[in-house]
Chain A
């Protein structure tokens, strides 16, 4: 029996409240398909690219919204547009590369159907046939066909898009607090791409999002962080969860006045060691932010992360590739006004993050540990009770509140 658009009723009902997540949510093809429709192509905004990726008229960049391929362009008038990377004819990709310049628009390689930079179908090869023979039906109208277009909006040089006419405006979608927290990272500076890498994660996309929102694990799984006082749950900081539950911010500031914390040592966590670096220069970040915040991890529902870890700034775009596979696109950023010394510090601190990062490599495998660990237990449930049962922000980061918030937003959009 179909329930909520799923092809089969889930093996078990969703438990009451926000503190339990059945593992079938990470395993089922029909849940995945429904997420594409109701979340990624539903009333949410997805990160597409940077404004500088389409700096000039005619520039284009290919990207994804969920697993749907999308092209972002800048037209002759300088406006940014986005549309499906899918020919209206037979569905082939229109753009075959990551980026390019197409002053005259696009032509599908398969049958040369052509598109302008706004994504309108402008021509069909042999529409009138050859020598009066063949050709499209007389009632075929080019204006009635085309790839679906996205609404596009920008903030701080980041381009977002949505397939949905019902999504609120981007500022309303993000809300003031999240908008302010994104702006705090960019500070009106022009971002410069320093590198792009993709990490292929062997797990459902939601396991990565849960991981990013999980401030509880950070200082337990990631020894590198903890030992060097980059992030301890006993540091000053807070969790912000927006009203929808879907967006979150976790931030902390190094409290140099604080000494060793007895609560920490009492837990006998593996990460309380006396590990020392031979060359600690990568920890000597420069003061970039007047508020003293040295770590801010921000998620925009459904699947985008803005990261400030000391001076390592990055965008992470999460692309689902089936129930058990996810692509994590890392875009490392600097800013035009960086001094050579500041730029060097960003290159050094990039060691902390990414697929080989001292404090992020574990996040690449831990989602797979969950995917494999729960493979035989679709009806069993993850427990999310740290810090209570609600999805509200708190000063304590020993909490899973922002994960509960994610599930609140996910269930609202999925109708589950």
Chain B
């Protein structure tokens, strides 16, 4: 396979593993997808368009990613719920040395404890990756939701 196919494969694999990690409620492993100096943001298409800097979630270190998990596990109150991620194919937007950027669409259904299942969020991941061995690690993930409207609350990461 060519180098670009290897990269595409590595990104698709990392994204699939990431989605499974969240959907399987293995949040403690979620920080492992990020580098120490990472950025994870959740924002919306409107906010991006306006150039607004603030986010629903803004984590700019792996420590903050870990803290999000421990807050969800020990501090925050929300009804039992789970996500199901459906991902599109990644488009690789740029490659520079060991770094690459990609865009991938997603849909997330939210399943509440009483069985109520809704299309909770759709959008795209704007990812920046660092190659590490055969795989890739996220240095930045900007989750751009298509809508700025969140039903009830956004607890689990997208």
Contacts and interface: CB of A to CB of B under 8 A. Distances in A.
B92 interface: no
B61 interface: yes
A356 B74 CA distance: 15
Interface string B67-90: 100110011111100000000000
B75 A275 contact: yes
A279 interface: yes
B77 A221 contact: yes
B59 interface: yes
Contact of B74 (A197, A275, A282): A275
A196 B57 CA distance: 13
B155 A361 contact: yes
Interface string A260-274: 000000000000010
A179 B58 CA distance: 32
B54 A227 contact: no
Interface stretch (B22-30, B45-53, B94-102): B45-53
Contacts of A195: 43, 47, 52-55
Most chain B CB within a 10 A radius of its CB, from A197, A201, A362, A366: A197
B7 interface: no
Given A198-B149, A201-B152, A364-B152, A347 B58 contact: yes
B20 interface: no
Interface string A272-314: 0101011101100000000000000000000000000000000
B42 interface: yes
Given A196-B46, A275-B74, A356 B153 contact: yes
Contacts of A196: 46-47, 50, 52, 148
Nearest to A278: B63
A277 B65 CA distance: 10
Contacts of A224: 71, 75-76
B122 interface: no
Interface in A194-250: 194-202, 221, 223-224, 227
Nearest to A344: B60
Contact of B56 (A197, A223, A366): A197
Contacts of A279: 61-64, 66-67
B54 A362 contact: no
A164 interface: no
A356 B154 contact: yes
B150 A199 contact: yes
B151 interface: yes
Contacts of B137: none
Contact of A365 (B55, B57, B153): B153
Interface string B101-131: 0000000000000000000000000000000
B44 interface: yes
A365 B152 CA distance: 6
**Which secondary structure dominates where chain B touches chain A?**
mixed
A324 interface: no
Nearest to A279: B63
B135 to A, nearest CB: 24
Most chain A CB within a 10 A radius of its CB, from B56, B154, B155: B56
B47 A362 contact: no
B152 A347 contact: no
Contacts of A221: 77
A361 B149 contact: no
B71 A197 contact: no
Nearest to B154: A356
A347 B76 contact: no
A278 B55 CA distance: 20
B76 A346 contact: no
Interface in B15-37: none
B58 A351 contact: yes
B148 A200 contact: no
B71 A358 contact: yes
Most chain B CB within a 10 A radius of its CB, from A198, A201, A227, A361: A361
Contacts of B50: 193, 196
Contacts of A275: 70, 74-75
Nearest to B76: A361
Nearest to A199: B150
Contact of A356 (B57, B61, B62): B57
A351 B46 contact: no
A194 B74 contact: no
B47 to A, nearest CB: 5
B154 A365 contact: no
B152 A202 contact: yes
A362 B77 contact: yes
Most chain A CB within a 10 A radius of its CB, from B62, B67, B70: B67
A365 B153 CA distance: 7
Given A273-B74, A358-B71, 5 more contacts: A196-B148, A197-B148, A346-B54, A361-B76, A364-B152
23 contacts: A194-B53, A194-B54, A195-B47, A195-B53, A196-B47, A198-B148, A202-B152, A223-B75, A273-B74, A278-B70, A279-B64, A282-B64, A347-B54, A347-B55, A351-B64, A355-B150, A355-B152, A355-B153, A356-B57, A361-B154, A361-B155, A365-B78, A365-B79
